[in-house]
Amino acid sequence: MKLTSARVLWDMVDGPMPRGLLGVGVGDLHGDDEHWTLFLGGFSTTFRNRLYTARAPRRADPATAPWTLDVDARGRAAALIEDAAPAAWDRGGMHTPSYVPASAEAPARIYYAGRASRRHVGPGSSYAIGVLEEHQGRWVRRTAPILTGRGPRPSVLEPRVLQHGDRYIMWFLAAPHEVAPGEQPDYELRSSTSANGISGWTTPEVFALSAEGFFDVAPVRLGETWAMLLARGTNLHGTAPYPPQGLWIMHAETPSPRRTRWSAPERILDTDTPDTPAWMGSGVCDPAAVVDAAGTLTVFVSGTRACRSWSSLTLEQLRRFKKPPVPAPSFLSAAALRFSDPGRPAPG
């Protein structure tokens, strides 16, 4: 498999950036009869982490489509739902949406990581998984999280939920906290299933060990079989040394929550090479994927720019007669990557 093209949609340094947002990252991708929809996590100009959507015509190739962010009456990025109440469990912000279409038994849902703490990273940062449901065209927040961490891994985040057969399958990250500057990541991917997608989740199984370093996943159908994209948490803080970054792929006959049903991970993107574009020089995460009839794999990702200080980036932008970036601890982008035929699982 080979990377054949990369297109940046939004970038905190080189732009463009939607009005009303300081940063934006990928969450999920869905196509219906009329539109492609990208579900996004964004950091607003009022310093809030919220969920957003962008759309493109369904007839268009999602890798090259003209994506338009949903906006309010003032032309600014429109959040999917109002901020949580000051005492709510997710009062700190909402991150990494995962969309599940409506079924005969349930409304459309967006699963997300909610943050209770003011801290984003390091000890004291705390995340749990919640859900929004669509009722009469409006997203409604459930008042309590549906999944929380425990023991040495009290934070759960990066949900990816799929309804398959009569079960909802959730893959998610369990961690002590989000990695802080100078720390090495301690990420363990887990999986669980539920009959209704809200309650009765099975005891989580380990899907990827901490030693593997995987941060999040994206299952994608390949005709009658399935692929799973895996990413590692990007090197947000420029820590050295740090685990290798990029994208990996596995194959299985079904989207099983059990790791033993999947093939060994194969690296399809190496962002540690010297020729990697700066916008993803510290890695990519948050994959969302689709495969077209010709076998072309498109993966939307959040990229972390090769670590540089705000002052050095500002000087470079001024030398290029471009607008300086907003001060930030790291600089993110949202992009579409296109790969050649993703292949099929080996027999057995």
Question: Does the pTM of the predicted model rise above 0.85?
Answer: yes
Is residue 346 over pLDDT 50? no
What are 87-97's pLDDT values in tens digits?
999 999 999 99
Count of Cβ atoms closer than 10 Å to residue 254 Cβ: 15
Q: Is the pLDDT of residue 288 over 60?
A: yes
145 three-state secondary structure: coil
Which CATH code fits 3-339? Answer: 2.115.10.20
**Alpha carbons 229 and 5: distance in angstroms, whole number:** 17
Whole-number Å distance between alpha carbons of 66 and 111:
26
Q: What tens digit of pLDDT does each residue of 111-169 get?
A: 999 998 888 898 888 899 999 999 999 999 999 999 999 999 999 999 999 999 999 99
pLDDT of the residue at 344:
58
Cα separation, 92 vs 44, in Å, equals: 13
- Which of 113, 197, 188 is closest to 157 using CA atoms? 113
What was the pLDDT predicted at 347? 39
* All structural domains of the chain with their residue ranges: 3-339
